[in-house]
Structure 1
Amino acid sequence: MRNLKNRLFLITLTVIFLSISDLSAQSDKTKIDQLISQKKSYNKENKTSIVYKIQLYNGNEDKAYKVKYNFETTFPQYKTVIKYDQPDWKTQVVYFKTRLEADRALLEIKENFSGAIVLKDKI
């Protein structure tokens, strides 16, 4: 009889413990889902992405356009832009998602444009 009471007591404790841990797990899942939702809404409102670009030239306007033309005829697979940051004009190859991707392109580009550098930018 005493052995039966001990077993019932242990079974009752086990059931209570499992119920509590299940409620705790559900509560944690709810909190995690809520945090994920908050992060998604934050990302939608604050669209700043890190990208990499390769700067080919920094100087006067005429030379910037000449560098752009020469680059586009040599490397038609890349997109180039001219950017004006007072007082300089910049010829840049845009946009690479990772630094590794930009560095790989830079190795190829440096053969013809030795002054090219990789820059990090936010868009």
Structure 2
Amino acid sequence: MKKRNIIITLFLILIIGVFNIKAQDNQTDNKDIISLIAKKRAYNKNNGSGYRIQLYNGLEKRAKSLRYRFQVEYPGVYTKLKYDQPDWKAQVGNYKTRLQADKALNIIREKFNGAIVIPI
């Protein structure tokens, strides 16, 4: 009797395990979802998505000097000088997430206290 109960219990555990594995094996190959993901990636490539740190917004001479000073302090970090009439902007970095940009901002603010994070 005990042996029979043990065998039945093991058999039930085996059946439940098989059904559990089958339940996790379902993959959805929905073409609409795949299409939307591809469109989102193409949009992000063309229009950009991410964040930069803006060091300065104002006069050309000051923007260029801050950009040069930043390049000396942090070599290897991408820098960009942008002109949006009538102001010049010194921007640095290319960050995918706001969290990455905020972490870099904490380090950069030690030497450039007016820096802010802006979306691209």
TM-score by length of 2: 0.68
TM-fit CA distance, 1:77: 3.0
Offset, 1:44: 5.4
The residue aligned with 2:6 is: none
Establish whether residue 106 from structure 1 lines up as the match of residue 95 from structure 2: no
Q: Which amino acid aligns with 1:65?
A: K
Query: Larger radius of gyration, structure 1 or 2?
Result: 1
Alignment correspondent of 2:22: none
Which amino acid in the other structure matches residue 90 of structure 2? T
Residue of structure 2 equivalent to 1:39: 36
Aligned residue identity for 1:66: S
The percent identity for this pair of structures is 42
Structure 1 alignment gaps of length 5 or more: 1-25
Q: Measured at CA, do residues 75 and 41 of structure 1 come closer, stay the same or move farther in structure 2, by a change above 3 Å?
A: closer
Map 1:1-123 to 2 at 5 A.
29=28, 32-43=29-40, 45-47=42-44, 48-121=47-120
Q: CA deviation at 1:39?
A: 1.5
Work out the CA distance in 1 between the residues paired with 2:117 and 2:38: 31
**TM-score, normalized by length of structure 1?**
0.67
Q: Cα RMSD (Å) of the superposition? A: 2.1
Q: Which amino acid aligns with 1:36?
A: I
Gaps in structure 2 of 5+ consecutive residues: 1-25
